[in-house]
Amino acid sequence: MDLDDLEPKKAKSHVLGEDLSKHSVAELGALIETLKAEIARVEEALAGKQSSKSAADAAFKR
């Protein structure tokens, strides 16, 4: 038995700008859903940071 078999498999990740022609229709659809979820996650983080920044700006406003 190979020790590499014991390690968890890494999920396939997409590299921005990579050639998409090698992907199937199903893979491209899954990629779209993954990217939409990631966009939502980033937007949520951005909103939280903007809220914190606005609160800090208001607290230190002269």
State the Cα–Cα distance between residues 31 and 14, nearest whole angstrom: 8
State the Cα–Cα distance between residues 12 and 23, nearest whole angstrom: 12
Give the confidence band of 1 by pLDDT, cuts at 50, 70, 90. low
- What is the value of pTM for the model shown? 0.65
Name 34's Cβ contacts closer than 8 Å, sequence gap at least 6. 14
11-29 tens-digit pLDDT = 677 899 999 999 999 999 9
